[in-house]
With several copies, the nearest count.
Chain A
Amino acid sequence: MHIPDGILPISVNAGGYAATAAVTWYSIRKIKQKENPREGIPKASLLTAAFFVVSWIHIPVPPTSVHLVLNGLLGALLGYYAFPAILIGLFFQAVMFGHGGLTTLGINAVIMGLPAILAYYIFRLRKLGSKESPKQDGAFDFLAGAVAVGVSVAIFVGILVTNLPADFISAAAERAAIYTMAIAHLPLLGIEGAITSLLVVFLRRVRPGILDGV
């Protein structure tokens, strides 16, 4: 779900970079306001590396397999470090594997990073509920994972379809393309949601402290 180089007009890429710079600047300002801003850096960096590696795990969806995105969980675990972490992860992905691109780094960071921040708030919503209820928790975890990826897919498809340099594409074809792409991503949402809630159950059981954010 990364947009490669060469597809988007330069104005969209520039807009993506502007938005990314603004969000990154805000995140770093928030980090620096902490009592000891350096304390979170090793944690955020190693978790960035870990999420990067976890995204190599293939989930079998016959006849093919999909990769995990997990930007929702990343948002929940990293808080204000999430957006810089995603930016760094995308940079490494573009450079090491040619996955995504350099000119589209900004726009891809928006696609992945904004939903991560959204998921962070969904996870926090859960804490408002006073009673301990594993089922309700699970539902929130599923929601956070699925919504994060869902929003990413929506932004991705939206940007792609509205910005293809096709001057003559018909409205009907455009709608068809949107529907096809959205439906093709539906199983991904289910899997992301399921894995996210399974993962959170695991983390809560094994290392509860990790869920309190950096």
Chain B
Amino acid sequence: MRESDITLLAEEMVEPALSVSGLCFSYPDRPNVLNNITLTVMPGERVGLIGPNGAGKTTFFLSLCGVLKPSAGEVVLLGKSVVNGDFRPDVALVFQNPDDQLFCPSVWDDVAFGPQNTGLSKDEVEKRVSEALATVEGTELAERPVHHLSEGEKRIISVAGVLAMHPRLIIYDEPGANLDIRSRRRLIRLLQCSTETILVASHDLELILEVCNRVVLMDGGGIVADGDPRRVMGNAELMEAHGQEKPHSLLPHQVSHQYPCRPTIARNA
């Protein structure tokens, strides 16, 4: 048995969290938004997805969740093929704009919305909600009306709404947009501490660099690079060819900004 075979075997034993093969998608008035995308993500990986506006990141995410129906190819999530229109509680998507996701009158209602739809008992729902709120350090927001929160708080609550469903794969579509530095830092910490498999699309390359252990560069509906974040994003030529920039922190030295994962105690640190 050769070495490569052994690796192959080892990989096959762990079922991938996500495996996409030959995925294509067209909007009615815009063909080939996704071109033959093939990607495998193993459980526990944190994959960053970068690429210019219109690269197809959001479209890709929506096809993964079964909201859009691909014109070709297959998506297998956690060992089960995705069927268009099917509801998969183990996969969750955090939308780019929290306002698209938050519509209940109070924070509590909103976080409870998902668990209630999966038909859990009342106690179970309550437990899920308080757990999720504690994880994002938002317990004291519970009774507040969603529409009066600050941008950063809205983002945090939309993440809680997704966590409460206990997904095993979470997809974040540009989670850093519109956040101030303190909220962004809190989000980064949250992402760094999460135990789920995650996919993050962002234009904030520093955020990707701090959170992800793998990065995928998309352009024109296809994947043009895939690998270690420091290697891919450190390749100035590649990055510029696809409308990106080498992140500042990769420029002269590498400065680690990794914050320790702390248990949830105080919010107003």
Interface residues in chain A, defined as those with a beta carbon under 8 Å from any beta carbon in chain B: 42, 202, 205-207
Contact = CB atoms under 8 A, between A and B. Distances in A.
B79 interface: no
Nearest to A46: B103
Contacts of A206: 105, 145-148
A22 to B, nearest CB: 30
- 4 residue pairs, one from A and one from B, having the closest CB atoms: A206-B147, A205-B105, A206-B145, A206-B105
Interface residues of B, number: 6
A207 B147 contact: yes
A205 B109 CA distance: 13
Interface in B130-148: 145-148
B103 A205 contact: no
A202 B148 CA distance: 13
A205 B145 CA distance: 8
A46 B148 CA distance: 18
A52 to B, nearest CB: 14
A34 to B, nearest CB: 15
B85 to A, nearest CB: 9
B17 to A, nearest CB: 29
6 contacts: A42-B103, A205-B105, A206-B105, A206-B145, A206-B147, A207-B147
Nearest to A205: B105
A205 B144 CA distance: 10
Contacts of A207: 147
B114 to A, nearest CB: 16
Contacts of A202: 105
B150 to A, nearest CB: 16
Contacts of A42: 103
Contacts of B146: 206
Interface string B126-167: 000000000000000000011110000000000000000000
Interface in B84-133: 103, 105
Given A206-B145, A207-B147, 8 more contacts: A42-B103, A202-B105, A205-B105, A205-B145, A206-B105, A206-B146, A206-B147, A206-B148
A39 to B, nearest CB: 11
Nearest to A204: B105
B252 to A, nearest CB: 48
Contacts of B105: 202, 205-206
Nearest to A36: B85
Nearest to B100: A42
Nearest to B106: A205
B186 to A, nearest CB: 25
Nearest to A203: B105
A207 B145 CA distance: 9
A147 B148 CA distance: 33
A207 B29 CA distance: 13
A81 B105 CA distance: 21
A202 B104 CA distance: 9
Contacts of B103: 42
A198 to B, nearest CB: 10
A42 B104 CA distance: 12
A100 to B, nearest CB: 23
Contacts of B147: 206-207
A42 B101 CA distance: 12
Interface in B23-47: none
A207 B146 CA distance: 11
B143 to A, nearest CB: 11
B105 to A, nearest CB: 5
Nearest to B145: A206
A201 B262 CA distance: 40
A206 B148 CA distance: 8
A207 B148 CA distance: 9
A40 B146 CA distance: 23
A202 B145 CA distance: 10
Contacts of B148: 206
Nearest to B148: A206
Nearest to B28: A209
